[in-house]
């Protein structure tokens, strides 16, 4: 082989390394730093006997953020994610994952699970240097028996997170040390698990390790790994069975859950734990992939239906504060559950190719994720509420969480989210596009970005220009280096009523909502696809027949005028209370038939970040009236009056803003109805 330049040589080599790093590990001719900027571009398909999945994740950095999404990742890098290690001891220089005597459990790996993709997606030198220090420590301190991580504990669970970190890091850098380290660790675990089985968190989160085992199997073909996957499945909790016969249909309190301070968490509490359920959302799909047992394929959908039916809340999530808590929009959902749910949906989407998983992913990414972080991403909540009228240090009717849970701060209630929140936006970015099993690529979620990959050995760039999710027009500029034939799969959201697809100015294919449209042709440089998903205000129904205003994947909430009170300084950031300075107890004069007449107002200042009050590109005006019987209780909006309701209060024009921009908000409203409700 001849290479035009050293750069081309390195490119080719690192692309090869993605497929079989183990073959290259002992004789790489170049220093590692040189490989950093030259990511592999090819995905790794499932080896026999694994099932053939619909899509495959592309190596980290194949998809790069642009437009508002780039701005969002930059805000994140300038916020807690880019600075947490500078002042929060749990991921500071004394971390056990850096060889120190400090925190040695999940927090270091959690932090890296977001920092690594953030750093490489932004090609941010400062963050790359930070993340490499951690990764290097793990890579350079494997024990002789194969064990990785701090010696202070031998819990399997935090290592499951570190494996996810290492797989992403390897994809971005082709570092040849990763695959051999994982091989030795898994060999050790295969020997050890019969004597020291999964327990506690690891038992309930086994599927996330199986994902890393599958990743390695596809790169090495070592059949011991399939045996390890079987043991992890056997020792792990049977999530599939939980949702075949779902028993947790209501909110339970600490006593019913058996939770007692200072005691181990009982099984019932683990099974209703929000983050566990969010992580488990990938387990059935993953087990179909490994076992080819068809009965596992419907499991993801069954879990979503069960959680929606009994615990669904309007931001695309289910309530769990800390445990499943019913459909009342004053109940909370933890930030860790939000980001883990997103990752599960991304992972399950790759396996199943179900377009509805993409709809759900967008709903959570474009609402629940920004809605629980401050605009500058320097503070977050533990629990967010769809109807959130006050964030304050106060006992609320959560299932088990404490009085700090809905503060915006450094580590309200418990520090897990402080460490784990960073994966949300970066992994979402990375999964906007996937490789398809038919040899093409698939747009599974939409945001401004650029894809760079290779198809049939031809470099292909696809630039996606859009302000989606705030407008339904998406331009895909497709640029293969030379003409190349491949199928392009495009998710058509289920909410899109009259979707259209144009190729080089002409309508090409029938776009059916809730499906993938596939355009299979020879693509040439400068081809253009225009997607149009017309969006306008619509209404969906929630708790007590309440109305929720949506527009495309974004939901719109009443923004309650807010007084921010600094509770205390926390290193480089602070803990904040948010108190309401305007009325919130409105019912809306809107329903499924009238929603189309609501007024859309265009914003102008998206430079500030699209999920902010100043930067939101679209606002919606609706008519409403106060409902005097709906009042605050325990710092929450009291029981939502069942719709329809009547009110003799004067009609007002209310401005709704994207959920993510409204830190105090009402999202599920009573609907005005009846004679006095609709009269002037
Ligand atoms: Zn958490």
119-142 pLDDT, tens digit each: 999 999 999 999 999 999 999 999
pLDDT score of 1? 30
Q: How is residue 164 written in tokens? A: 């996810």
Ligand 1 center to residue 270 CA distance, Å?
14
What value does the mean pLDDT take over residues 386-392?
Answer: 98
Specify whether the backbone of 609 is left (phi greater than 0), alpha (psi in -120 to 50) or beta. left
SS3 351: helix
With bands split at pLDDT 50, 70 and 90, how would you rate the model's confidence at 39?
low
Q: How is residue 343 written in tokens? A: 């990752």
Ligand 1 center to residue 333 CA distance, Å?
10
The residues pairing with 517 across neighbouring beta strands, listed in sequence order, are: 490
Ligand 1 center to residue 578 CA distance, Å?
20
Above 70 in pLDDT, residue 546? yes
Ligand 1 center to residue 414 CA distance, Å?
7
Ligand 1 center to residue 636 CA distance, Å?
21
With bands split at pLDDT 50, 70 and 90, how would you rate the model's confidence at 261?
confident
Report which of 386, 382, 343, 368 is spatially closest to residue 543, judged by C-alpha positions: 386
The residues pairing with 476 across neighbouring beta strands, listed in sequence order, are: 464, 529
Ligand 1 center to residue 659 CA distance, Å?
21
Least confident stretch, 481-490, 518-527, 531-540, 591-600: 591-600
Ligand 1 center to residue 116 CA distance, Å?
19
Ligand 1 center to residue 105 CA distance, Å?
14
Report which of 401, 269, 282 is spatially closest to residue 333, judged by C-alpha positions: 401
β-bridge pairing 484-492 and 441-443? parallel
Ligand 1 center to residue 478 CA distance, Å?
40
Question: What single DSSP character describes residue 367?
Answer: I
Ligand 1 center to residue 382 CA distance, Å?
6
With bands split at pLDDT 50, 70 and 90, how would you rate the model's confidence at 603?
confident
- Rounded Cα gap, residues 328 and 318, in angstroms: 10
pTM of the model as a whole = 0.94
Ligand 1 center to residue 376 CA distance, Å?
19
Ligand 1 center to residue 422 CA distance, Å?
11
Ligand 1 center to residue 406 CA distance, Å?
12
> Crossing angle for the helix pair 335-352 and 283-291, nearest 10 degrees?
30
Above 70 in pLDDT, residue 660? yes
Mean pLDDT across the chain: 93
Ligand 1 center to residue 645 CA distance, Å?
37
Ligand 1 center to residue 154 CA distance, Å?
22
Ligand 1 center to residue 70 CA distance, Å?
25
Output the CA angle 303-307-312, nearest 5 degrees. Answer: 145
pLDDT score of 5? 39
Above 70 in pLDDT, residue 8? no
β-bridge pairing 458-466 and 449-455? antiparallel
Output the CA angle 218-192-175, nearest 5 degrees. Answer: 40
Q: How is residue 160 written in tokens? A: 């499951």
pLDDT score of 290? 98
Above 50 in pLDDT, residue 10? no
With bands split at pLDDT 50, 70 and 90, how would you rate the model's confidence at 635?
very high
Ligand 1 center to residue 247 CA distance, Å?
24
Ligand 1 center to residue 354 CA distance, Å?
28
Question: What single DSSP character describes residue 589?
Answer: S
Ligand 1 center to residue 182 CA distance, Å?
27
- Rounded Cα gap, residues 13 and 25, in angstroms: 12
Residues 558 and 613 sit within 8 Å (Cβ to Cβ): no
Q: How is residue 166 written in tokens? A: 């290492």
> Which string of b and e fits 547-573 if b means at least 16 CB within 10 Å?
bbbbbbbbbbbbbbebebeebeebeeb
Least confident stretch, 7-11, 363-367, 478-482, 595-599: 7-11
DSSP code per residue over 178-241: HHHHHHHHHHHHHHHTTTS---HHHHHSHHHHHHHHHHHHHHH--THHHHHHHHHHHHS--HHH
Ligand 1 center to residue 215 CA distance, Å?
26
SS3 638: coil
What value does the mean pLDDT take over residues 410-419?
Answer: 98
Ligand 1 center to residue 412 CA distance, Å?
9
Q: How is residue 627 written in tokens? A: 């409902």
What value does the mean pLDDT take over residues 144-173?
Answer: 97
547-599 pLDDT, tens digit each: 999 999 999 999 999 999 999 999 999 999 999 999 999 999 999 999 988 99
Give the list of residues 6+ apart from residue 346 with CB closer than 8 angstroms, or none: 57, 361, 427, 428, 431
Residues 639 and 633 sit within 8 Å (Cβ to Cβ): yes
Ligand 1 center to residue 198 CA distance, Å?
21
Cα of 255 vs its chain's centroid, Å: 31
The residues pairing with 64 across neighbouring beta strands, listed in sequence order, are: 450
Ligand 1 center to residue 679 CA distance, Å?
47
pLDDT score of 515? 97
Q: How is residue 306 written in tokens? A: 């069960």
pLDDT score of 19? 34
Above 50 in pLDDT, residue 37? no
Ligand 1 center to residue 117 CA distance, Å?
19
Ligand 1 center to residue 408 CA distance, Å?
13
Ligand 1 center to residue 381 CA distance, Å?
9
Ligand 1 center to residue 417 CA distance, Å?
3
Ligand 1 center to residue 115 CA distance, Å?
16
pLDDT score of 509? 73
Residues 493 and 474 sit within 8 Å (Cβ to Cβ): no
- Rounded Cα gap, residues 543 and 312, in angstroms: 9
Question: What single DSSP character describes residue 143?
Answer: -
Ligand 1 center to residue 421 CA distance, Å?
8
Q: By CB neighbour count within 10 A (0-12 exposed, 13-18 middle, 19+ buried), where does 661 fall?
A: buried
- Rounded Cα gap, residues 291 and 448, in angstroms: 37
Q: By CB neighbour count within 10 A (0-12 exposed, 13-18 middle, 19+ buried), where does 479 fall?
A: middle
Cα of 90 vs its chain's centroid, Å: 23
Above 90 in pLDDT, residue 42? no
Ligand 1 center to residue 365 CA distance, Å?
17
Above 60 in pLDDT, residue 188? yes
Residues 373 and 382 sit within 8 Å (Cβ to Cβ): no
Tell me the backbone φ, ψ of residue 261, rounded to 5 degrees.
-55, 135
- Rounded Cα gap, residues 384 and 415, in angstroms: 15
Cis status, amide bond into 469, omega within 30 of 0 = yes
Ligand 1 center to residue 419 CA distance, Å?
8
SS3 649: coil
Ligand 1 center to residue 275 CA distance, Å?
7
Query: 């099974």: which residue's tokens?
Result: 271
What value does the mean pLDDT take over residues 62-77?
Answer: 97
With bands split at pLDDT 50, 70 and 90, how would you rate the model's confidence at 674?
low
Ligand 1 center to residue 416 CA distance, Å?
4
> What residues does the ion ligand 1 have nearby, CB within 5 Å?
334, 336, 416-417
């Amino acid at each position: 082989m001849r290479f035009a330049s050293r750069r081309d040589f390195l490119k080719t080599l690192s692309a090869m390394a993605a497929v079989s790093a183990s073959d290259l590990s002992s004789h790489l001719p170049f220093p590692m730093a040189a490989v950093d900027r030259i990511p592999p571009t090819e995905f790794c398909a499932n080896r026999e006997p694994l099932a053939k999945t619909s899509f495959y994740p592309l190596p980290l950095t194949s998809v790069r953020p642009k437009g508002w999404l780039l701005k969002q990742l930059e805000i994140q890098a300038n916020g807690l994610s880019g600075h947490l290690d500078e002042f929060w001891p749990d991921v500071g220089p004394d971390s056990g994952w850096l060889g120190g005597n400090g925190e040695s459990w999940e927090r270091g790996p959690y932090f890296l699970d977001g920092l690594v993709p953030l750093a490489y997606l932004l090609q941010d030198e400062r963050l790359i240097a930070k993340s490499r220090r951690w990764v290097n420590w793990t890579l350079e301190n494997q024990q002789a028996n194969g064990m990785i991580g701090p010696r202070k504990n031998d819990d399997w669970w935090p290592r499951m997170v570190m494996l996810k970190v290492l797989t992403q890091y390897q994809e971005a850098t082709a570092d040849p040390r990763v695959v051999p380290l994982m091989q030795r660790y898994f060999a050790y675990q295969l020997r050890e698990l019969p004597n020291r089985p999964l327990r506690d968190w690891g038992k309930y989160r086994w599927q996330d390790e199986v994902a890393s085992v599958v990743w390695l199997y596809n790169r090495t073909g070592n059949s011991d790994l399939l045996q390890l996957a079987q043991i992890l499945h056997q020792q792990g909790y049977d999530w599939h069975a939980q949702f075949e016969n779902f028993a947790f249909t209501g909110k339970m309190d600490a006593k019913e859950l058996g939770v007692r301070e200072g005691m181990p968490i009982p099984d019932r509490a683990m099974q209703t734990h929000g983050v566990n359920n969010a992580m488990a959302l990938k387990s059935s799909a993953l087990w179909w992939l490994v076992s080819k047992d068809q009965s596992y394929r419907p499991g993801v959908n069954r879990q979503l239906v069960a959680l929606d039916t009994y615990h669904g809340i309007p931001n695309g999530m289910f309530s769990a504060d800390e445990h499943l808590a019913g459909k009342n929009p004053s109940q909370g959902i933890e930030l860790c559950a939000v980001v883990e749910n997103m990752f599960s949906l991304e992972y399950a989407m790759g396996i199943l190719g179900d377009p509805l998983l993409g709809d759900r992913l967008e709903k959570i990414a474009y609402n629940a994720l920004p809605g629980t972080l401050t605009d500058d991403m320097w503070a977050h909540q533990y629990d967010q509420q769809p109807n959130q009228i006050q964030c304050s240090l106060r006992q609320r009717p959560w299932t088990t969480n404490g009085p700090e849970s809905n503060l915006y701060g450094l580590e309200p209630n418990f520090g897990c989210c402080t460490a784990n929140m960073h994966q949300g936006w970066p992994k979402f970015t990375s999964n906007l596009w996937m490789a398809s099993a038919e040899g093409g690529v698939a747009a599974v979620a939409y945001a401004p970005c650029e894809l760079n990959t290779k198809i049939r050995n031809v470099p292909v760039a696809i630039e996606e220009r859009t302000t989606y999710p705030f407008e339904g027009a998406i331009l895909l500029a497709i640029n293969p280096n030379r003409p190349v034939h491949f199928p392009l799969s495009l998710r058509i959201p289920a909410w899109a009523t009259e979707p259209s697809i144009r190729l080089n100015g002409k309508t090409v294919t029938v776009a059916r909502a809730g499906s993938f449209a596939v355009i299979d042709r020879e693509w040439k440089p400068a081809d253009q696809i225009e997607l149009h998903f017309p969006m306008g205000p619509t209404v969906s129904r929630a708790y007590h027949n309440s109305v929720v205003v949506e527009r495309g994947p974004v939901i719109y909430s009443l923004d309650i005028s807010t007084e921010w009170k600094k509770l205390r300084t926390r290193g480089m950031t602070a803990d904040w209370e948010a108190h309401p300075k305007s009325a919130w107890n409105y019912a809306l004069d809107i329903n499924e038939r009238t929603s189309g007449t609501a007024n859309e107002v265009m914003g102008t200042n998206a430079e500030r970040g699209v999920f902010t009050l100043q930067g939101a590109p679209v606002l919606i005006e609706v008519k409403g009236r106060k409902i005097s019987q709906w009042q605050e209780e325990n710092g929450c909006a009291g029981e939502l009056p069942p719709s329809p309701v009547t009110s003799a209060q004067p009609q007002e024009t209310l401005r709704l803003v994207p959920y993510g921009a409204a830190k105090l908000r009402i999202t599920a409203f009573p609907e005005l109805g009846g004679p006095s409700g609709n009269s002037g």
